[in-house]
Structure 1
Amino acid sequence: MTKQRQRASAPAPETKRCAIYTRKSTTMGLEQEFNSLDAQREACLAYIERQQGWTLVDERYDDGGFTGANIDRPAFQRLLADVDAGKVDVIVVYKVDRLSRSLLDFVKVMERLSTAGASFVSITQNFSTADAMGRLTMNMLMSFAEFEREMISERTRDKIAGARRKGKWTGGPVPFGYSAKDKKLVVNEAEAHVVREAFTLFLAHRQMATVARELNKRGLLPRASKHGRKGGPLWSKDSIARVLRSPLYAGRMMYGDELYEGEHPRLIDDVTYRQAQKLLGMAGRELRVTGTNPEYVLRGLLRCGLCGEAMCPGSTTKKSGKTYRFYRCSTRDKYGTDRCSARPLPARAIEDFVVARITEATADGTLAERIQVKLAARVAKERTTFVEVRKALSAQVAEALAATSRLTEEVVRLEGRARELVEAKLRVEATRLDDAERRLRALEDDAVNVELLESQQEWFVGALRNFGKVWGDMTPENQGRLLRALVAKVSVGEETGVCRAELVNFDAVASAKEAA
């Protein structure tokens, strides 16, 4: 009777509002009718039903496809907000690593729960944060969970590095020009054509903006993205630069700063890629001078007849729907009429005059033939020099390699003072071998120079042979390139009214090159 009265007077268990939190790192399998999140929730729900006074809140907190490395998860943030608002007393999870895999984040969450007067329970590990022993055990488990996450990350990085060194594609956005099939890159012929055309246009025009404009005009557009702007994507200077600089298209796979032979098919040959990289790295006159105002094709060539300084593009004036261009004396623009009184000159008239003189000079084809002979001799000389230097360096590498092999065998055989002397010789030979191999690798730039010179020669001579026909079809950039390769200087005498165009002396150029 006394025991019955004691049981009747015992206080009712405290009611605790419980929230179940579930998480899965990937989205794989979430489309199934009963997935991992459902299994976690069902197990947690059964645990809550066995506890006296525990009730489940109506809100669900499920994060599918979110890592435990951080707490930037939408459902988890909602849960923490409800804890702060006093709506949740206990957070119930299947395992402690469902909450977090970062020890630092876990400690911060525990402090936040403690401030709100809430607790945390892991149903498969049989402890909670309601007592000191449970908190100690949980911190130990979290340390192991973080260690496991870091080990997985390291193994993943090592796996990616090893795959890249073998030339394998390791996933991510599929590069333009390729498609992904069986976790490998295969050629997408429609896009590959655009990539090859981009390299061809760049070698011809040397301007990334021109390449982008030409591809857009032809309708050879980049791949549409999922979040592309209205009207479809267009090529830009930056997107063209990314294509031109990517070693992927030359059959290489990059990891860090190192390149490895890729197992994917290449879209362009090594010569084309090296030529493009050479042009991209150039900061010479050819690239700079066509960067702005390309329609002023005599820029850099036209000189003032009074002071001898350069005539620069002047401002344009529009009247009655017409555009007028002028060349202005740079001295007058900088220092005023006291230093030079030359007036602005009509650009179109001077350019037409120079083009007419060149048309006359190239009409019979003799000028093109003479220049071709000179340039062919220069290319042959460059190629011969390159072959001779490469042969000499290869011989040096072979000689140094043989010497190091012989000295290495002597080091193994000898002892004492004799061994020290041989080791000193071995270090000298190893240094000589490294130097010869470095110079041989650097010689690749000379090979690119010869290839560029040969391609420029073909383009230049071909344009001269048909100057009258091709001039009107050229872009302003290519017109400027041709004139700068052919014309040494154009001067206009304002007092005499004489315009003089001097062609480049190719005999002198060839002689100077041979003397160098």
Structure 2
Amino acid sequence: MIRGMAHHVGIYTRQSEQRASKSEASTETQWDDCVSGLPHWGLEPQHIERYEDLGISAFKDVDRPDYRRLLADAGAGRINVIVVHYMSRFSRRTAQETYDDLSPLLRNGVRLISVGEGREFHANNLFALFELLFKLQASHEESLNKSLAVRAAKDLEARLGGYTGKAPFGFTLVRETRRTDSGKPVSVKILTPDTEHEAPIVRRIAELADNWITENDPTGSVWKIARTLEKEGHKTRGQRMAKARGDARWDDKTVKRVLADPRIAGFDVESVYGTRKDGTRSTTVAEYRLVRRADGSPVQRYTPIIPAEQWYWIQGWLSDRHPGGNPHWDGKPSGLLSAMKLLFCECGATMTHGGSGFKKHYRCRRRAIKPGQHEGEVTIGAKGIEQHLARRIFAVMRAADDESALAVLAEAANRYAVQRERTVALEVTQERDRLLSERARLRRSREAHHADRERVMLKGGFVDDFARESWGETEQALAERMRSIDARIAEIGDSKAVGLPYEVWLTADTDPTGPGSWWDSADFQTKRAFFRLFFDRVSVSKARRWAGRGFPVETRVTIEWAGGVDLSDRPMVGVA
């Protein structure tokens, strides 16, 4: 606790975006100005404590760690003077919100000094308090108006085909002038392949993965791609731009993020954000999901860096591949749940497949015991857990009136569409796209033909028999070609349609996993793909003894369903 007249100063600096430059907004400039301004206020500090929030907004409702530490230290009496560069650095929230934080400190005699504005605020000066409130509210409203203006500008830019985010790796932003409906010119940023620097690296990454897939080489991995890029001298964006992450190296996560990004194939995406431990949405993008048309086909929005069919080909490799690096591994997982990063022990370790015949099982692969973890082995019968998981899925399919089950099925349908797109032959895809394009052209031709005929009739023009016959022949020819195209589209199928094939997987009033069922006849890879549609993670707890027997499989298995839906408290998803 501070006693007497000693000055213990806390200098608070903040910058919304981390920059290396010594701009007016930089925290280094703020610190220098605050320290040099102390004598003007008659302050000879016995101690100066630095508080700095870098890359954090004071307008948004986000955590500012050093701001909290500053208020805590002032409340505890460890500092009695708070110095800021400008009040806008201190807070951009409403006057009421900021005053609620400060009022206990001001009442206890803490001084608040703004060196840039040349003002001191304290509880004994009502005029200064009113001025403080006005400045706080003005800062908040300035940020609010700026936020609304930025949001409106981004919305307008997006409507005109512009890109409003940070360019993903492989791309750059090019300025282009476009016009609104009223003819007003607007400068927008267009996402364009960075042909000089990054796009060639993306193609090299795809080439390495493609070679391993083509050669059926199980040793390939994203980690090996990262090492190859470093060996060949390819620079990351941070290394090339020499910014805050100038020392950033290629790693497996970076390579996987580049390969998994649909934008490198030209597809439009929507961001899916992760979830913090407290359940709130994080600011980190967990995945990019394809934007689809009403018919389920993905929207092509950008100039692709690699062909779409190559991107789909690689996505299958990313999800199915073994971690690689072992030349003796034959690339064929022995269990349905092997090498999928899906099945885990209660301790968090991956479970591996082993045994033979009726003794096939999954076992915890943990090497060392850590505090709080189980002792001894954790194993579970392979047939039992595989059958149990399949039955859980079929039970969800039959619970069509449950909202949570429907959410799981919707996410599974989205994943199923992606799987289907990966397996469609390029020739079929091209033919379907050509037919759909020709069908649209024919529809426009029929509309134009009808419009021409109506225009002549409305004007009362003379129409002889020859013209009527010509109109009829044209209409008949267009209609016949349309029927021919529709028949061919139906024949090759719409592989981009979204929808789970319930009629194939389920048969009424029969055991969906019993003899003669789809599950019973499905091959190994089909069953693995089926599990991946519906599950994000499956955990197995250690077996306990009960009445001389082990606990049933269903009591040991915990499922994290697709899309993060919790179905643990719903009896309808029990074993069918």
User: TM-score scaled by structure 2?
Assistant: 0.40
Query: Is the radius of gyration larger for structure 1 or structure 2?
Result: 1
User: Which has more helix, going by share of residues?
Assistant: 1
User: TM-score scaled by structure 1?
Assistant: 0.44
